[in-house]
Structure 1
Amino acid sequence: MKKTLSLLLLLTLIFIPARAADVQDVKPTKNVILFISDGTSLATVSTARWLQWYSHSDKPNLNIDPYICGTVRTHSSNAPIGDSAPTTSCYVSGQPSQTGFVSTYPVNCGNDDIYPTDPNRAYQPTMTLLEAVKMFKGGSTGLVFTCEFPHATPADCSAHSYNRGKYEWIAPQMVHNNLDVVIGGGVSILSDDMEKYLKDNGYSVYRNDLKGMRADTNNKMWALYADREMSYDLDRNPDEQPSIEEMTKKAIEKLSKNDKGFFLMVEGSKVDWAAHANDPVGMATDFLAFDRAVGAALEFAKQNGETTVIVTADHGNSGISIGRESCKGYDKLTKDQLFKNLSQFKLTAEGFAKKVNTIPNSEVQSLFREQAGFELTKEELDALNNCKDYKFSPIPEAERHEKSQASMYSNSLSGLMSQIITSRTCMGFTTHGHTGEEVFLASYHPQGDRPMGMHTNIELNHYMCSLYGFEPSFLSDMSNKYFARHTDVFQDYTCEIIPAKEGEVAPTLIVKNKKDKKKQLTIHAFTNVVKAGKKADQDIILNSVVVYVDKNNTFYLPESLVDFLK
């Protein structure tokens, strides 16, 4: 009996998965796929699961369900409630940062900092796991998302800026960071110069070309859809835009051809957008689309045997709840009463807003009967007709009331649609912004070394680093090496910063050898190409990007660049 118990204890110890903090015990894998459902509270996951089960009685579970292993306490460097930019930055760089900061070291905030920060490193770019896999493992790298490509989460993996809104800084970095596969939104943001760079370097580039993407056999590809963000999955025209599942499969197909491995980040971008809008339909259906993409990756990982899949969110959003106080007796409602109406919506709030702006006013009730299962009330019609964004109102724009007699409704068209949708459910919301609760964590590891329990966003980074054999401090050390201040790198040389000319987004750094005038570097920001020689006619191709920060008038670049001046 004692021998049996000892054997059981031994087996138990063998199969206890390592915590993310126990990185020395994690067995590396060749590939890592990181899934991030943006702005997804645990209640969003529950709502999506219920909706799927109600709509498909044979599908009571999500693809993530067997792999849920804990939670993540995710936060900014100086605030418990996170923003997408610093929270995903922490996942991929190991450094919490401030609201708006894209893989950039935070400014010291004294006692407000959750963990101590180094004031001397403020605004320094922080190397990401994607960059490290590309640079030090020779692995392929990819991004899949449904927002525009320089948006916070994809930018976090492949660019650096203290201002997430500076697309003119972020977009060229992403293009010049030599990602192998990029699929998502943002056709209007990819400039002709960016496209030329990609094509000159062997990429296939597709703009709103679904057939082209599907037929492409090149291992290097950018495929973008829609001027900015892609449609919600429920509103998506499948003949024009791929699903996030299809995009994920295509990325894996290409990246897995590299025998040195790959890193892929897949973001369910617009779950967050629907949460900001308080649109439960958009939230639930986009998360279900995201979960189907996770299912495709899990299927690949199980067959491949060398791939880890990690699924989480960057932060919560909206304080969504199944049940709200104004819905009397909500805690006793049946599943039909709670989820039937939710299941009948065939468009998101954004989808309804776009649709009503394309049809005559006389057809609005018909639209809602067919696409939602009800007609608008007199008060809702009044709110619609007085809405400033509504193109087909019978009320002249000058005569519309900012607050109609249905004054409880939003005066924006998409906001009004969200409120109409929510009013037909018993879903509740506390805010239109981010929330600070822990988020879900799910994972698959071929040897079972999964991060179990509650982890910080820093620990999750350390776990992912260990999957590639990197020490926890590796990314920080490499940040210092590849994103050093130009004043330190070129302290023995003459440096001149030339102000940006019209049409340029940043100044240019000229570095000269005082003794040998032929040795000179011309350095442009947000690119990986440095010009050498007095005539700037020689190209030095970096495996990282040069970042300029106007806050301190500093270029951040590799220490090794100084060797070209010696």
Structure 2
Amino acid sequence: MDRRKFLKGSALLSGLLSLSPAELWSSKRNTEPSGTGKAKNIIFMISDGMSLGTLSMADLYSRNILGKESHWLSLYREKKVSRALMDTASASSIVTDSAAASSAFGGGIRVQNGVLNIGANGEKHIPIWQKYKKVGKKVGCVTTVTVTHATPAGFCINSAKRNAEPQIAEMYAELEIDVLMGGGDEFFNPSKREDQKDLYSVYKKKNYQILKNHTDLKTIKKEEKILGIFNTGALPYSIDKANLSEFGKTPSLAEMTAAAIDQMKEHPGGFVLQIEGGKVDWAAHANDIAALIHDQLAFDEAVKTVMDFAEKDGNTLVIITTDHGNANPGTIYGTDTTKNFNSISNYQYTNEYILNKIHKDHSAKDIKDWIFEANKLVLSDDEAKHLQSFYNGLEKEEGLYNYKKLPFKLYSEIQKSRNSVGWISMDHSGDYVEVAAFGPGSQHLQPYIKNTDLHHLMLNAVPL
């Protein structure tokens, strides 16, 4: 489909933005959230760093550009889920990091930022996936960042340092987590580890099948555990994966999710699975609207994959949420807001890819030409020269996941003047966040909860 022709005729789709409350929220299909009795399985879905504005804009983009409602919002409209607002604070701050947030879910107690399931006095709280593994369930984690990152680790291990990823990779092997999929080759590959340990060999000896690319998902053996490591570092952003051929062998979150469910669904004792859209958080840290929306929509496709299974299965508790907000992006009032927002469909790549392609020997004209090719934005001479100053060493920008000192903030401000999307910061926020729950046990979700309450909700729905 030619998106430019589509946008020229998008007046009808823009009308979706003006649905009445009755049209948006009423439905004759389901009048009560599903969920009674006890569950056999749990699927816990986390769009890491998802502020409410992220959820909203992904749905608006899906409606206006793709012509369909997002799966998450359709669960609300069709009244299929219980719904809550969640306080995400950690033990040390009203603004949590991912380690403390995941520990609240996984260990059932609030810990200080930066640690995984270890209390203030050094006490270790047994993570919930360990508990379920001990009673015979299969356990798994799927993510778009490294499998050893804070969010999957919070359900599985204890560590005083969230950044101890080489050690976390070894802990997973000891625990024999049944399914692990994501990035992080540097923590398993002997040529990339400082201690030169060959963790792939360790996993193979424990009857793991090692997956390396998209094709390997089709060759999974049911009798083996899975270690799927599809990249060094995190997996590529969804929009770059769609438009750059070098990322074509990387599976999507929905594809990994489907493979994980298929691998575990026939286990007599049931399974528990965590699914993380980790790069939603990274996109928010970079104030990168195209990366943010497309990775949230990729997470939304995983929501569909999970719900298709859970509705048919009838024995699975599904929790869909985030661990915290990040950067609180949102649309800005103005006469051209809808048109400006829709122009994001012209963006071909992430800001990370775009800014990495600029070099210090590029002229202001070179920069203007490249930005127009990548985003269809016409820069002024002053804007191009300001961007150029970063590559000449005159300015630099700090920030998490910005080790190359790329001018993410400056470029997002340039985009803001054209796309009407603003950001309050480049870091986590303490806002209350959305929780949706489906299936047996979901009826116990209260309208307002703390993050630790989800730990107890799981244990109540699927007793040990």
Taking structure 2 as the reference length, what is the TM-score of the superposition?
0.82
SS at structure 2 position matched to 1:205: strand
Greater mean deviation of Cα atoms: 56-65 or 174-183 = 56-65
Which residue does the alignment assign to 1:435?
Answer: 429
State the partner residue of 2:66.
56
Q: CA deviation at 1:210?
A: 2.3
1:265-291 alpha-carbon deviations (Å, 9 max, x no partner): 000101111111112222221111101
- Cα distance in 2, alignment partners of residues 180 and 411 from structure 1: 38
Candidates 73, 90, 102, aligned match of 1:88: 102
CA 1:306 to 1:348, structure 2 compared with 1: closer, same or farther past 3 Å? same
Choose 310-319 or 369-378, whichever is displaced more: 369-378
Contact 2:368 2:384 in 1 (8 A): no
Query: Percent identity among equivalent residues?
Result: 28
Please list every run of 5 or more consecutive structure 2 residues that lacks an aligned counterpart in the other structure.
Answer: 1-30, 191-197, 398-403
- Counterpart code for 1:235: D
Q: Which amino acid in 2 is paired with 1:312?
A: T
- Equivalent residue number for residue 380 of structure 2: 377
Alpha-carbon distance change, 448 to 439 in structure 1, aligned in 2, over 3 angstroms: closer
Shift of 1:363: 5.5
2:394 matches 1:401:
yes
- Please give the per-residue CA displacement for 1:325-384, whole angstroms capped at 9, x wherever unaligned: xxxxx24445223x2222221212112123446997676444433331223321232133
* Alpha-carbon distance, 1:226 to partner: 1.8
**2-structure distance, mates of 1:285, 1:430:** 20
How far apart are residue 320 of structure 1 and its match? 1.9
Report the counterpart of residue 468 of structure 1 in structure 2: 462
Deviations 1:29-79 (A, max 9, x none): 111000011111111111111111110234366455343612111110132
In 1, distance between residues paired with 2:206 and 2:216? Answer: 19
**Structure 1 segment 424-503 matched on structure 2, within 5 A:** 424-446=418-440, 449=443, 451-470=445-464
1:422 matched to which residue of 2? 416
Residue 496 (structure 1) aligns with: none
Query: What is the rounded CA distance, in whole Å, between the counterparts of 1:46 and 1:313 in structure 2?
Result: 14
Unpaired runs of 5+ residues, structure 1, are 1-14, 19-24, 108-121, 324-329, 389-396, 405-409, 471-566
- What SS is found at the alignment partner of 2:239? coil
Alpha-carbon contact 2:47-2:299 (below 8 Å) kept: yes
- CA distance, structure 2, for counterparts of residue 153 and residue 173 of structure 1: 15
The alpha-carbon distance between structure 1 residues 235 and 371, as it changes in their structure 2 partners (threshold 3 A), is same
Q: How far apart, CA to CA, are the structure 1 residues paired with 2:304 and 2:444?
A: 17
Q: TM-score, normalised by structure 1?
A: 0.68
Q: Does residue 217 of structure 2 align to residue 213 of structure 1?
A: yes
Residue 17 of structure 1 and its aligned partner are, at CA, apart by: 6.8
> Counterpart amino acid of 1:287?
Q
| TM-aligned CA distance change 1:359 to 1:312, over 3 Å | farther
Deviations 1:290-328 (A, max 9, x none): 0110110000011111111110010111122221xxxxx
Q: How does 1:94-109 map to 2 (within 5 A)?
A: 94-105=108-119, 107=120
Residues 1:37 and 2:60 are matched in the alignment: no
Corresponding residue for residue 307 of structure 2: 298
The alignment partner of 2:211 has SS state of strand
Aligned length: 411
Question: In the alignment, what sits opposite 1:174?
Answer: 172
In the other structure, the counterpart of 2:137 is: 139
**Residue type at the aligned position of 2:394:** H
Aligned to 1:336: 339
Could you say if the C-alpha distance between residues 401 and 458 of structure 1 is closer, same or farther in structure 2, counting changes exceeding 3 Å? closer
Deviation at 1:250, TM superposition (A): 0.7
Name the structure with the higher helix share.
Answer: 2
Quickly say closer, same or farther: Cα 1:233–1:60, change in 2 above 3 A: closer
Instruction: State the partner residue of 1:318.
Output: 327
After superposition, the Cα gap between the structure-2 partners of 1:28 and 1:226, relative to the gap in structure 1 and judged at 3 Å, is same
Taking the aligned partners of 2:430 and 2:217, their CA distance within structure 1 comes to: 38
> In structure 2, what is the equivalent of residue 230 of structure 1?
235
* Matched position secondary structure for 2:254: helix
Pick from 275, 284, 299: which aligns with 1:275? Answer: 284
In structure 2, relative to structure 1, the CA distance for the partners of 1:346 and 1:180 (3 Å cut) is same
Task: Note the aligned Cα RMSD (angstroms).
Answer: 2.6
Pair 1:95–1:51, CA change in 2 (3 A): same
